[in-house]
Structure 1
C-alpha cells in the first residue's frame, strides 16, 4: 500500500511541486495544507505515515506545529521532516529535542527531494 504523506507549506508553488514529485516519482499519496492550523486539522482526519513541514510560516511556525502534534496521543508518533531555509546550531539542537525525523534545507533539489525524505524515514523505494 502506498505511503500517505501530509505536506504543509504556505507557499503554493512549493506545495504543488512537492505534491507532484511525491506522487509521480515516489508513488506516495499526498494530502496538502497551506497553513499549520489546516495541517493540524488534517492530522486528525487523515491516516498519515509522515509529514513534510515548512518551518517558517505565518501565525504558527513549524516548531509550534510539532509541539501541538506531539501533545496529542493520536498524532504524537507521526514522523516529521522539516523544510527550512536557515538552520542554526541551536535549531539543530531543538530539532533533536523535539524528536524531528530529519531536516531538508531549502532550496532543495526537486529531482532528489523524494529520495531524501524516503531515506530520512527509512522507507525503501
Structure 2
C-alpha cells in the first residue's frame, strides 16, 4: 500500500516541522520545503496527493507557487490548502480566487481538527 504523499511548504521551520510531524504520525509520507524553489524540486521529484502551502515564502509567495503547481501536468488536480497566519479578509478572498482547495489558520489550534481538515481535502492516491 502506498502512503499518501503530502508536502508542507512553510518558511517557518517550527511550523513546518510541527505540521509534518503530526501528519507523519497519521500515516502520511511527508516532504518539507522552506522555499518555493525547494518545493518545486520536491513536487516534481515526488509527486503529491496534497500540498499545504504557506502564503509568505522568502523567494516567492504562495500565490505564485499555486499558479506554478496548476500549470504542471504531473500535478494536475492536486489539492492545495493554504496553511498560513495571513488571515486578513483581503488574503482570504485572494486565497479563494487563486484556486486553493481550503484554508488552515496558523497557529494550529487543534491537532484533531488539523488532521481532519487535511483528510477532508485529500483525494485518493493515483500512483501504484
Q: What range describes the TM-score normalised by the shorter chain of this pair?
A: 0.7 to 0.9
User: Structure 1: which 5+ runs fail to align?
Assistant: none
Q: Secondary structure at the match of 1:74?
A: helix
Residue 17 of structure 1 deviates from its aligned partner by 1.0
Residue 119 of structure 1 deviates from its aligned partner by 2.2
- In the other structure, the counterpart of 1:13 is 14
User: Structure 2: which 5+ runs fail to align?
Assistant: none
TM-score by length of 1: 0.86
What RMSD in Å do the two structures reach over aligned CA positions? Answer: 1.8
Within a 5 Å distance, the mapping from 1:1-125 to structure 2 comes to 1-24=2-25, 26-112=26-112, 113-121=114-122
Instruction: State the number of aligned residues.
Output: 122
Residue 76 of structure 1 deviates from its aligned partner by 3.2
Q: Is the 8 A contact 1:21 1:110 kept in 2?
A: no
Please identify runs of 4+ aligned residues in structure 1 that moved more than 3 A: 120-123
